[in-house]
Structures are given as C-alpha cells and as structure tokens.
Structure 1
Amino acid sequence: MTAVTSDERGDEPAAEWAAEHDVGEADAAALVGEQFPDLRGAPVTLLATGWDNTVHLVGERWVFRFPRRAVALPGVEREIATLSALAPALPLALPVPTRIGRPGGLYPWPFWGAELIPGGELAEADLPETGRVRAAADLGAFLRALHDPRLVAEAGSGLPADPMRRGDPGVRAPMARERLDRLARRGTWEPDPAVERLLAEGEKADPPPGPAAVVHGDLHLRHLLVGPDGRATGVIDWGDLCLADPAVDLSLAYSGFSGAARTALLSAYGRPPGPERETAARVLAVFLCAALADYAESTGRTRLLAASLTGLRRAVAP
C-alpha cells in the first residue's frame, strides 16, 4: 500500500485530504483475508473514498473502512466503541462495526467492517420532488430519535463536546468565507449576496443555547443513503460523532432540502429550531457545501460538485 506525504507536484504541500496510507483493493484483500479467514479469497471492490477513509466492499456483503489519515483515528475508535450501542435506538441503519481489524505489519492502524447498507449517497441521487420529500421526512424522524436527550446518558458517555466547534457560527462563518473565496478565485463559485449576508450574521452570532445532544457531527450530502424511491436507508461515516448542539446535524435540512421537502423534515423532527439554531445550521451548511465543492472540483467529482453548489444555494433559500 502507498504512503503519501506530498502531491505529485513535488514542491507544493499535499491536499488536506491526501492519504497517508492508501489501501487499494489488493491491500484490502490481504488485510481482510489475514484477520478474517472466512473472507479469504472473497472479491474486493473499491466502494468509495473520502477525506478520511477508503471503503471497500468485500464478498458483496461486508463494507470495510480503512483510515487514510492519522487525524481520523480518534473517530475510528469512537465508531467502534459507540455505534453498536447507538444503532438499536435509531430508525435508519447505521454501519455497526462487527469485524474489528487490528494494526499489524501490513497496515499500522485499526480498521473495521460492517454489513452493507443498501442505497446511494443523497449527493448522487436524482430524486423527483416526491422522493425528496420522502427522504427528508425519513431524515427528520431519524434526527428526532438521535437528538433525544436520553441518548446522551445511554450512548454518549465519553463522547467529546463539539471538538471542531461546528455548532458555533462565529467560528464556522469565517471558515466558510475562506472556502468560498478559494472557489471564487478558480471561477467555480460566483459570490452570492444572500450567502454573504448569512455569513456576516453568523460571524456576529453566539452559539445556540441549550443542552448538547448526541450528533452525527458531519451530516452532509454524502452521508445520507437513499433508495431510488427516495426512502432513506441509512446514515454512514460517523467519525465525527460527538456531543453538540442539534444545529450541527440540522445543517443538512438546509443544504439537502428546500420547500416542501424541508418542511417535511422539520415537521418529522418535531422541534422548531428557533432563530439561533437555524442561523448556526445554515452557516454550517454553507461551510460543508463549500468544503465538499472544493474537494469535488479538486478530485474530478463532477456530480458531487454540482450537488454541493446546489446545496450552497439551498442553504440560504427560504
């Protein structure tokens, strides 16, 4: 497997999502076969890559996640420790780590496998309006259950408190502006006065009041899985699982949905967000979409880029 420390240009620093260890299909087959003999010789297919993990499908049933960067390791440990306790309380499927890979000579970090959850990323789904409303309602019900205060005691023990301050619009608004400026310099994004007004408001806003909930922590367009009819099937990539204001997850209500779909989501959620929480959620939606657009353009993911730019517009839509 390849250890990556700089990009191919040599004298420039590597992109922030560049892999320190890139596990290819042959590497994954060797690692899984060594530690799980019943899967030795099973077909291995690259399923997805992201900033922090490379994901392979093994034997058409098992999804194995291999960290790409050392910064992701605390999140991997949280997933292993928490998801099995969290899953029974939630109405959508979670990837529950049932096959835990140990560090070894072939690969220095832990990894894990879970049963495949059907469906595709919301970012890749071309849903009609009825399907989008259905997905939004399913997500709202899921978030209602996830943010139930009882889960803090039942499954939140040991989780960090918003370690990246994603619930604080005063922190995230300047970071969003920096990403958008980068996109604008490349001609990918044309500055939008509505986005600028939101970010200016966010820079002056305080974090939402109220107790923290168990949150996914990085709930964006790639992490909600949906079927072709719009039914939500699962929520993946829990490496940023933490305790934080619910605004952190409600950001997807603003980047992923608008109009009747957003109304359906908030109705199923059952708790009006209030102005402070809505501002924090919208600001984070802008930041996450800008970061996704930067990543998508830099890695040649045209559909993700289009979905991310659409998400930016949705984030400021009524």
Structure 2
Amino acid sequence: MEWAAEHEITAETAAALVGERFPELRGAPVEPLATGWDNTVFRVGGDWAFRFPRRKIAVPGVEREIATLAALAPGLPLPIPVPRYVGEPGGGFPWPFWGARLVPGREMAEVRPPDGRRAAIGAAVGRFLRVLHDPALVRTAGAGLPVDPLRRGDPAYRATPAAERLDRLAARGLWERDPAVDAFVGAARENAVPPAGEPVIVHGDLHVRHVLLGPGGAASGVIDWGDVCLADPAVDLSLAYAAFAGDDRAAFLDAYGPVPPDRERAARVLALFIAATLAEYAASEARPALLAESLAGIGRALAP
C-alpha cells in the first residue's frame, strides 16, 4: 500500500534513540501517540512528542519542519509544534527525527463535532490561516521553502487523482456516486486554471487529522507540518470545504476574509481529493471514525 512503512519503529526503539541522543530524557516513559502515512509519533516523558519518519519520501518534510516551525510559531494564534530536540541518523535509524513540546488535544477527525456546531472551530482556524497566509511572513520565515511541490494548488492537476480515488471508493461500495461531484471534477479537469496571485506560506496538508481540539471542543493546535511550502492559499482553504458547511463555513470565511472564485474552485477540488484519500486510507486501516468524517467531507465539499 502507498502508506506502508519502509522503516517501522517501536516504542522500545524510539526510547533507545531518544535516550542515546538526549541524556536528560533517558529512561523517560515512551508510548505510541499517532501514526500517519509518513511519520510515527511517540509521547516521551509525558510532555514531549517525538516524530520519526516511516518513509524516505518524508525526510525532506521533516527537514523543513526543523528549519521552519520555530520561525512560524511566535506569531500564530494557535499552537504548533516547535522542534526542541533534533536527532541525527544513526543507531540503526536512517533518518533525522525531532521532538517538540506536546501540543495537547485530539484530532478533529476523532472528536467529530456535529455539523452545525463547528462555527467556533471554523472561526479559530480561519483566523489562524489569515495570519499564516500573510505575505509578509514569506520574508521572515519562507526562506528555502519549495513552491507547491505536489501541485496541490493546481485544480486541473488534482482533479484526475481525485476522480480516481472517488472511483475506487465507489467500486468498494464505500461512497455512492454523486452526479454533481462527477460533473464538478470533470469540469475542473478540462478547464480549471490555478488561482492567480503570489504564493504564501501554507501548511500544505491541512485536514481533519491535523487540527486538534481541546477538552471543551475548541481548536487547540495545528500539527503535522511535513508539507509546509509556498503555494496558493487554496491549498489550506480546502479545509473550509471538507470540514465545514453552512454557518460553520461562513464563520471560517468571515474570520479568514474574501476568497475569490478561482481560489474557491481550487480549494473545493483539493477538498474532494483529500477527503477521498483519507476515506481510502481509513477503510484500509480500519479507522471507522476517520472513514465517517472523510466521507462526510466529500459531501461537504460542494455544499453551499
């Protein structure tokens, strides 16, 4: 599978690597915290989250996180992880890894707040992205970042893999075909063009696993910055269309600011792609909450 690990790491191995490189954490308890496509995260000593690549393709993203997050964090209105410990390859582990103060909270995909009760979360994330997408931030924190290396801001390019993933979901009986979705994706594939404007700093992979919610249901942080890059804001605004609809989305966009039609279309195409990708992953990995949230995201993507 495309998300299979090339180098899996256990809690015991993580403890050995952390203890060898950072003596002050030697002997601290280590427990699994989260697993994604590209990284495995362990909680160390209760207060720290250590992030280890699972695939070689993730290493450039890890290096960008190490180089960029400390410069981004101070001005952002929600917490993000800031690397404090940086481990070099060695000890049987081939890639760099890092540890940051734990950003507390649960994935939005796990909590699954009901539609109609997401407005406060939407407003918080909208404010966060308004600050992150400030062009001035490119001058202070954007050095060395690539420009949209995965072409997520190009709706015509993203429409084809979106259609392929939707086809696979339908073939597995996980998603009932929607003519409106098929028509929208087909039109984007034929005639959509990338939004106009200079690139800004974007999270690059902002979805419902990467927004954390605190005990009261408020947004508490944004994690997993391995795809941070320069790109059109549509790359992050896809979350507005996959995770929010109706008044919830209105709260997001009121906090963020105006979104021109070409950017909205690109964001909706990417919302379909990301939601379908997460649904396929969740079905294969037996993650029912993520599957339900991702399928709902496909339904939200074209909703008013």
Partner of 1:118: 104
User: Secondary structure in 1 aligned to 2:201?
Assistant: strand
Deviations 1:243-283 (A, max 9, x none): 0000000000000111111000000002x111100000000
Does 1:268 find its partner at 2:255? yes
Question: Do the aligned partners of residues 108 and 85 (structure 1) sit closer, same or farther apart at CA in structure 2, a change above 3 Å counting?
Answer: same
Shift of 1:130: 6.7
Check if 1:198 corresponds to 2:220: no
The answer (yes or no) to whether the contact 1:131–1:230 under 8 Å persists in 2 is: no
Which amino acid in the other structure matches residue 236 of structure 2?
D
- Please say if residues 127 and 229 of structure 1, whose CA atoms lie closer than 8 Å, have aligned partners that are also in contact: no
Gaps of 5+ in 2: none
Aligned to 1:12: none
Superposition misfits of 4+ residues, deviation over 6 angstroms: none
Distance between the aligned counterparts of 2:19 and 2:233, measured in 1?
40
* Deviation by residue 1:271-305 (Cα, 9 ceiling, x = unmatched): x1111000000000000011101111111111101
| Partner residue, 1:225 | 212
Once the two structures are TM-superposed, the CA of residue 128 in structure 1 deviates from its matched residue by 4.5
- For structure 1, the 5+ residue unaligned runs are 1-14
Aligned to 1:44: 30
Taking structure 2 as the reference length, what is the TM-score of the superposition? 0.98
Q: Which residue of 2 aligns with 1:64?
A: 50
Asked if 1 retains the 8 angstrom alpha-carbon contact of 2:115 and 2:244, the reply is no
Kept in 2, the 8 Å contact 1:99–1:114? The answer is: yes
| 8 Å CA contact retained: 2:116, 2:247 | no
CA contact (8 A) 2:40 2:53 kept: yes
1:40-63 CA distance string (max 9 Å, x none):
111111011000000000111100
Please say if 1:29 is aligned against 2:15: yes
In 1, the alpha carbon distance for the partners of 2:74 and 2:15 equals 30
CA distance in 1, matches of 2:90, 2:131: 38
Number of the residue aligned with 1:78 = 64
Partner residue in 1 for 2:272: 286
Once the 2 structures are TM-superposed, how far is the Cα of residue 197 of structure 1 from its aligned partner? 2.0
Question: Cα distance, 1:185 vs. partner?
Answer: 1.2
Partner of 1:174, secondary structure, is helix
Aligned-pair CA distance for 1:195 = 1.1
Residues 116 and 110 (structure 1), Cα distance of their counterparts in 2 relative to 1, 3 Å cut: same
Question: Contact conserved, 1:131 with 1:229, CA < 8 A, in 2?
Answer: no
- Counterpart CA distance in 1 for 2:25 and 2:231 is 38
Paired residues of 1:125 and 1:228 also in contact (CA < 8 A): no
Q: Which whole-Å deviations, capped at 9, do the CAs of 1:8-31 have from their partners, x for residues lacking one?
A: xxxxxxx01110111111111111
Deviation at 1:229, TM superposition (A): 2.5
Equivalent-residue separation in structure 2 for 1:64 and 1:177 (angstroms)? 35
Residues 295-310 of structure 1 mapped to structure 2, 5 A cutoff: 295-310=281-296
* 1:95–1:236 CA contact under 8 A, matched in 2: yes
Give the Cα separation in 2 of the matches to 1:130 and 1:83: 33
Local SS of the residue matching 2:177: coil
Matched, 1:165 2:181: no
Question: 1:142 pairs with 118, 128, 136, which one?
Answer: 128
Identity, % of aligned positions: 64
TM-score by length of 1: 0.93
CA distance in 1 between counterparts of 2:194 and 2:263 reads: 8
Can you list the C-alpha shifts for 1:59-92, whole angstroms capped at 9, x where unaligned? 1110000000000000000000000001011111
Q: CA-atom RMSD, angstroms?
A: 1.0
Structure 1 residues 201 and 263: CA distance shift in structure 2, 3 A: same
When the two structures are aligned, how many residues end up with a matched partner?
303
Q: Which of residues 251, 255, 258 is equivalent to 2:238? A: 251
Alignment partners' CA distance in 2, 1:200 and 1:95: 38
- Paired residue type of 2:148: D
